[in-house]
């Protein structure tokens, strides 16, 4: 017997349609690249997205074509997303923090047909132009008054492009499994690989993100996604917020502590999301001026890298803001877990609560997780055993664009049971909480045992004189590898090796203790803000242990 329910396609266009009908007056507020604050509503954004789709069709873009964006979090970027996807085309977000060579490779591999770009990226696009023959046109996301002089071929002013159209456009009804978005991995090994999101996966993922133990957004919320839209869909917030009618606050290009705080307060933000470096900057700004407060902020989502304990403690203890630790990856759309306390855990002593909250958290419905040993044997969920983290679910990649890195006739990247190897080493416990201990390529193997570099880093950065810390494993004549702690000091303060090692004593196992501490001016990062340990290992390739 078959069910007798309607076959209602899960298309991204239905999200913005829903927002227009049910929350037409709710605001989308943007700090524009030109400077001023811009305000529009979901009804306005819906109409402009239709104008964008109509303009793209006039420019020759058709269903299945790939259209690139090189832009910050703004209302324009958002309406372009919905316009591209509503046309049945594929929205490809380019990460401006990548090197020119990587950007050019990605644009050519994706066969981008045209490029929408913010004012801040005109010079970058000009440098790309000669290397990207598939890009036939450039749309600069500004008005005529701010349109720059440029060598970009066929450059079009975005506002003039939209003003030539009306809103009489019917969204293209494609199969819900059709491609909607394209985002490339950061390419830490080999060339970046393309992850292709479908309409179905985007909608299901946004629904999962909106569940109560994940972001749990509501119409009463004011949400500021600081995580960029070019970082795997801004963690689904540009879909999940319109789904429920939450106000959106788009910070544009200014992500320093003062600018972030200004918008948080001025727009009564209740929920915001970013990587730890952004929150460290905000907390330093707040500590520099004791009169500054967080009057409306209720919860902060921390992802992209492990949340340092000091960040969680300062937000919660000093400002009364709940911190949600999260984890995911481009291949997962991206959110895979969120660390929310379960029933009864709120009654535990504060120290025990922190132990749970500092883990990466629990998977929502639509995500399955397991850990295995090197031979693929599933390991126990005891919260202690380290293993390779594997995942499967409704919004998790089964292959890369054009079959890159896959195996078998369908170029799958999954194992025989349909699981994707995340490349992370983690523990799982009986309560369902997952904790990342390292990337598989970064885990430190000392004397046959594994040491978590992430845990040492998060403790070290809690020292009041430490701005940033990284731990890498380097060859050792007796123990195979030993941990080296690399530290950037806060400006104007001093701290010694002995002080840092004393600070770590009692907080980690004795045999985890770094064999040495070195101080540097800066630590290299990937384009997504994560510590680039490959570069650190190359930097310290000639390092010799003091006692070795």
Convert 94-126 to b/e letters by CB count within 10 Å (16 or more is b).
bbbbbeeebbbbbbebbbbbbbbbbbebbebbe
String of DSSP letters for 217-261: --TT-EEEE-S-TTTTGGGGHHHHHHHHT-EEEE-TT--SHHHHH
What interhelical angle do 199-209 and 12-22 show, nearest 10? 50
Q: Could you confirm whether 296 is annotated as catalytic?
A: no
What is the token pair recorded at 537? 């290992």
Instruction: Give the list of residues 6+ apart from residue 505 with CB closer than 8 angstroms, or none.
Output: 513
Q: Is 327 designated active site? A: no
* Distance, CA of 107 to CA of 135 (rounded, Å): 8
> Is the preceding omega at residue 474 within 30 degrees of 0, hence cis?
no
Angle at 281 between CA 277 and CA 283, to 5 degrees: 115
Active site residue 247: no
Catalytic residue list contains 185: yes
Q: Per the residue annotation, which of 185, 337, 427, 528 is the catalytic one?
A: 185
Give the 3-state secondary structure of residue 521: coil
Kindly name the residue from 79, 165, 331, 468 that is annotated as catalytic.
331
- Cα separation, 81 vs 238, in Å, equals 9
Helix 75-86 to helix 42-58 angle (10° resolution) is 50
Q: How far apart are CA 54 and CA 193, in angstroms?
A: 30
- Considering the candidates 123, 342, 441, 445, report the single residue annotated as catalytic: 445
27-31 and 247-250: which strand pairing?
parallel
One of 450, 481, 490, 497 is an active-site residue; which one? 450
Q: Which residues contact 420 (CB under 8 A, 6 or more apart)?
A: 331, 390, 391, 392, 396, 397, 398, 413, 414
In order of 38, 449, 457, the CA distances from 444 in angstroms are 48, 8, 13
User: CB–CB of 202/86 below 8 Å?
Assistant: no
Query: Distance between CA 468 and CA 532 in Å, rounded?
Result: 13
Asked whether the beta carbons of 271 and 287 are under 8 A apart, the reply is: no
Known catalytic residues are 185, 331, 445, 450
């Amino acid at each position: 017997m078959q069910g007798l329910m309607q076959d209602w396609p899960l298309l991204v266009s239905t999200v913005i349609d829903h927002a227009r009908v049910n929350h037409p007056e709710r605001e989308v507020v943007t700090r524009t690249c030109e400077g001023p604050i811009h305000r529009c509503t979901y009804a306005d954004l819906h109409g402009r997205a239709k104008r964008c789709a109509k303009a793209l069709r006039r420019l020759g873009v058709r269903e299945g074509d790939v259209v690139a964006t090189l832009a910050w979090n703004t209302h324009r970027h958002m309406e372009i997303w919905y316009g591209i996807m509503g046309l049945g085309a594929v929205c490809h977000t380019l990460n401006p923090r990548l090197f020119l060579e990587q950007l050019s490779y990605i644009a050519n591999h994706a066969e981008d047909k045209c490029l929408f770009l913010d004012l801040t990226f005109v010079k970058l696009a000009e440098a790309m132009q000669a290397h990207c023959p598939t890009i036939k046109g450039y749309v600069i996301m500004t008005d005529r008054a701010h349109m720059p002089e440029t060598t970009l071929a066929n450059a079009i002013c975005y506002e003039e492009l939209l003003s030539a159209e009306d809103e009489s456009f019917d969204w293209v009804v494609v199969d819900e499994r059709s491609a909607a978005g394209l985002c490339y991995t950061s390419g830490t090994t080999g060339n970046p690989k393309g992850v292709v999101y479908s309409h179905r996966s985007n909608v299901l993922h946004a629904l999962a993100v909106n569940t109560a133990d994940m972001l749990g957004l509501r119409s009463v919320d004011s949400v500021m996604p600081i995580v960029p839209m070019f970082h795997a869909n801004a963690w689904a917030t540009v879909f999940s917020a319109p789904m429920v009618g939450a106000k959106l606050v788009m910070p544009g290009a200014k992500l320093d502590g003062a600018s972030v705080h200004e918008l948080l307060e001025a727009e009564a933000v209740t929920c915001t999301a970013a990587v730890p470096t952004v929150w460290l900057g905000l907390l330093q700004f707040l500590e520099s001026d004791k009169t500054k407060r967080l009057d409306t902020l209720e919860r902060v989502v921390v992802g992209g890298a492990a949340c340092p304990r000091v960040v969680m403690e300062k937000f919660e203890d000093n400002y009364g803001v709940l911190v949600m630790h999260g984890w995911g990856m481009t291949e997962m759309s991206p959110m895979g877990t969120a660390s929310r306390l379960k029933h009864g855990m709120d009654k535990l002593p504060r120290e025990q609560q922190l132990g749970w909250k500092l883990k990466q958290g629990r998977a929502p419905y639509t995500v399955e997780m397991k850990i295995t040993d090197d031979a693929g044997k599933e390991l126990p969920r005891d919260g202690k055993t380290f293993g390779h983290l594997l995942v499967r679910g409704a919004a998790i990649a089964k292959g890369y664009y054009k079959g890159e890195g896959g195996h078998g006739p369908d170029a799958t990247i999954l194992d025989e049971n349909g699981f994707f190897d995340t490349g992370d080493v983690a523990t799982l416990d009986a309560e369902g909480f997952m904790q990342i201990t390292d990337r598989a390529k970064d885990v430190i193997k000392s004397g046959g045992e594994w040491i978590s570099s992430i845990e040492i880093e998060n403790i070290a950065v809690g020292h009041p004189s430490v701005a940033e810390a990284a731990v890498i494993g380097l060859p050792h004549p007796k123990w195979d590898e030993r941990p080296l702690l690399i530290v950037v000091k806060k400006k104007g303060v001093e701290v010694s090796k002995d002080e840092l090692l004393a600070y770590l004593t009692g907080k980690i196992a004795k045999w985890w203790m770094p064999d040495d501490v070195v101080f540097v001016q800066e630590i290299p990062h990937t384009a997504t803000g994560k510590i680039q340990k490959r570069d650190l290992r190359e930097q310290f390739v000639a390092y010799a242990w003091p006692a070795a």
